[in-house]
Each structure stands twice: as C-alpha cells, then as structure tokens.
Amino acid sequence: MTAAKHLDSTAGDSVDRVAHALADSTRRSILRLVRDADIAAGDIAAEFPRISRPAVSQHLRVLRDAGLVDIRTAGKHRFYLANASGLVEIRQYLDEMWADNLQRLKLAAERTEWPDRARRTNQTPSKKRAPRGAPRRRGAAQP
C-alpha cells in the first residue's frame, strides 16, 4: 500500500469512527453536554436516568475512540470534555462533498441560464418578449 493510500485509508477510518459516534442521538446529547465544561462520568450518567451507567460508559468509550472527547482523571473520577479537533476530518469531508455539489449546481444553472440570456439579447426589437408574468396582448395595437 502506498503512503498516500495509507493516509487516505486512515483518514477514512477516522471519518467512519466519527460518523458512527455521531449517528447515535445519546452520544450527540453527551457531546453537547460536555461541549463547554468537563463533567464527571457519574454526572453525565445522572443526566440519562433511562440508560444504565455501563451503557453510558460504552457511549463515552465510543466518543473517546472517535477522538470526540478528552478524559482527565482526578483521583477515582474521570472527567470528559468535548474535543472539537475530533470533528476536523469529518468537517473537511462534508465541506468537500458540499463544494463538489455546489460546483455541479452552478455549472448546471449556467448551462440552462446562459443560452436563454444569449437568445434574449440577440432578439430584434420587434420580436422582444414581454417580461415574464406580464399579460400578453393579442391583436391589440402596439403604441
């Protein structure tokens, strides 16, 4: 495997891990919860009373493995804080996909718009069309 392919592969793996982590609504809620302040795992679990503590721990592990949270330990406590840099690669991927689609949309719009403009500017005054939406006058004398 070439170095370039390996880099693409590892970047793709990272995007996959982040996308998987963000696909679950509970993990997205946890990420929002720890966005601005580090919070102890027990306090995070308390925010989700319908989910067992081991399940919350598993969600936190998925977020950690995806690089979306950092962990700080203090004694027996583990504090979690969102790591925005974990979103960089997926953001780049989405921006790239969006930019490609916008470029295709721009080209498609130009293909349909520019020929119409060319036809309108090449018309002789006697064949000039009324603006769109204007009522057409049939058989009436032109001023």
**15-69 per-position pLDDT tens digit:** 999 999 999 999 999 999 999 999 999 999 999 999 999 999 999 999 999 999 9
Which helix (H) or strand (E) covers residue 70, if one does?
Answer: strand 69-74
What was the pLDDT predicted at 135?
Answer: 64
Token pair of 37 as six digits: 């302040």
Cα–Cα distance list, 73 to 40, 42, 80, 122 (Å): 9, 13, 9, 74
Q: Is the pLDDT of residue 120 over 90?
A: no
Among the residue ranges 25-29, 44-48, 85-89, 118-122, the one predicted with the least confidence is 118-122
| Top-confidence residue, 130 or 77 | 77
For 84, half-sphere exposure in the C-beta direction (CA atoms, 13 angstrom radius) is: 3
Torsion angle (degrees, nearest 10) of CA 83, 28, 97, 113: -130
Among the residue ranges 49-53, 98-102, 110-114, 139-143, the one predicted with the least confidence is 139-143
Query: Per-residue confidence at 7, pLDDT binned at 50, 70, 90?
Result: very low
Q: Is the pLDDT of residue 2 over 50?
A: no
Do the beta carbons of residue 28 and residue 22 sit within 8 Å?
Answer: yes
Task: Return the bridge partners of 82, or none.
Answer: 69
